[in-house]
């Protein structure tokens, strides 16, 4: 892979585009394998630093949005927040800095250790627990705000687990509290590989990231995902990749699921621009969806 195919003004921005892979130009004397680096497989959540560097580019924007959404939609006065699948803790750290009392859970111990260490280093605190986001209870606490962004919800591969997740979050929220849930809906028709590419750097560790999703299997409701990192640190460059499956949602499938959890009502919809002044319509144009779900007073 080249050092960067993006002009300087696009560095550190996520760039989304659709590409249809076609045959690439073959230079005389060069085979495809000469030009393509070999990617070793790795578990990106077991080495949280690189994930964190690359996803941290949006943390401030997302945290600003979460606070504005809370002000606008939550009836709760609690400054307590919950992040299911909190990962490296980038958002927990940012919200703890803003005086939120934060709780995060994740099923990956490496991610949780990373989150713990960074909070300790910043002399901040949050409750962190190892748990599955589709089967958790947080006794003795209620939350005014819960959130789960960047399509993490789509890791739950069955309707039962997805519904159970929503029920767990609803049980943890104070009545009137909100759940901000952001994930990609399936645009129809999808014929191309979708590709998102950006790069970031921290403390002389540079990471270039390419995330691709293949056209979904609409019957099985699965989309094949691949992430590739080019990591440059201490003069060495590593090429690593990981693969996973996401569950897919059309707007109708999402509405059907949400209808099974009456404790949560959809009160507004935004997109990944995280602009609190620009609500989105619930229509087929909506792809990068951020739903504001409110826990009903009666539940």
Contacts with ligand SAM, residue ranges (CB under 6 A): 45, 55, 83, 85-87, 90-91, 106-108, 111, 132-134, 149-150, 152, 155
| Chain residue at closest Cβ approach to ligand SAM | 87
**What's the min distance (Å) between Cβ of 161 and ligand SAM?**
7
User: What is the phi-psi region of residue 167: left when phi exceeds 0, alpha when psi lies from -120 to 50, beta otherwise?
Assistant: alpha
**What's the min distance (Å) between Cβ of 272 and ligand SAM?**
12
Nearer to ligand SAM, 56 or 201 (CB): 56
Nearer to ligand SAM, 127 or 296 (CB): 127
Pure H helices in 142-229 = 159-172
Tokens of 17: 């585009």
**What's the min distance (Å) between Cβ of 3 and ligand SAM?**
26
Nearer to ligand SAM, 4 or 242 (CB): 242
Of the candidates 186, 239, 254, the one whose C-alpha atom is nearest the C-alpha of residue 214 is 186
**What's the min distance (Å) between Cβ of 211 and ligand SAM?**
10
Nearer to ligand SAM, 132 or 271 (CB): 132
Q: How far apart are CA 87 and CA 112, in angstroms?
A: 7
**What's the min distance (Å) between Cβ of 172 and ligand SAM?**
14
Nearer to ligand SAM, 106 or 208 (CB): 106
Of the candidates 200, 220, 73, 211, the one whose C-alpha atom is nearest the C-alpha of residue 147 is 73
Nearer to ligand SAM, 111 or 286 (CB): 111
Q: How far apart are CA 66 and CA 276, in angstroms?
A: 9
Pure H helices in the chain = 32-35, 48-55, 59-73, 90-97, 109-121, 159-172, 251-259
**What's the min distance (Å) between Cβ of 170 and ligand SAM?**
17
- Phi, psi of 18, deg, nearest 5: -100, 140
């Amino acid at each position: 892979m080249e050092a960067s195919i993006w002009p300087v003004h696009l560095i550190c921005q996520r760039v989304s585009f659709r590409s249809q892979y076609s045959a690439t130009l073959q230079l005389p004397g060069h085979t495809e394998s000469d030009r393509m680096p070999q990617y070793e497989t790795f578990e990106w959540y077991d080495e949280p630093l690189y994930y964190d560097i690359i996803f941290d580019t949006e943390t401030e924007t997302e945290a600003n949005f979460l606070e504005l959404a809370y002000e606008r939609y939550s009836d709760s006065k609690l400054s307590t927040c919950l992040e299911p699948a909190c990962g490296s803790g980038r958002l927990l750290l940012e919200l703890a800095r803003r005086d939120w009392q934060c709780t995060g859970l994740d099923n990956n111990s490496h991610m949780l250790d990373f989150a713990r260490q960074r909070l300790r280093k910043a002399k901040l605190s949050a409750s962190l627990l190892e748990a599955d986001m589709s089967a958790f209870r947080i006794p003795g606490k209620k939350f005014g705000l819960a959130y789960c962004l960047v399509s993490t919800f789509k890791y739950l591969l069955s309707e039962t687990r997805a519904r159970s997740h929503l029920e767990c979050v609803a049980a943890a929220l104070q009545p009137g509290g909100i759940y901000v849930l952001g994930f990609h809906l399936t645009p129809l028709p999808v014929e191309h590989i979708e590709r998102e590419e950006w790069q970031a750097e921290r403390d002389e560790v540079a990471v270039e990231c390419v995330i691709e999703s293949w056209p979904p299997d609409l019957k099985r409701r699965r989309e094949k995902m691949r992430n590739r990192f080019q990591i440059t640190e201490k003069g060495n460059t590593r090429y690593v990749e990981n693969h996973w499956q996401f569950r897919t949602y059309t707007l109708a499938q999402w509405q059907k699921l949400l209808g099974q959890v009456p404790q949560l009502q959809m009160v507004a919809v935004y997109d990944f621009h995280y602009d609190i002044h620009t609500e989105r319509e619930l229509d087929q144009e909506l792809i990068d969806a951020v739903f504001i779900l409110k826990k009903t007073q009666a539940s």
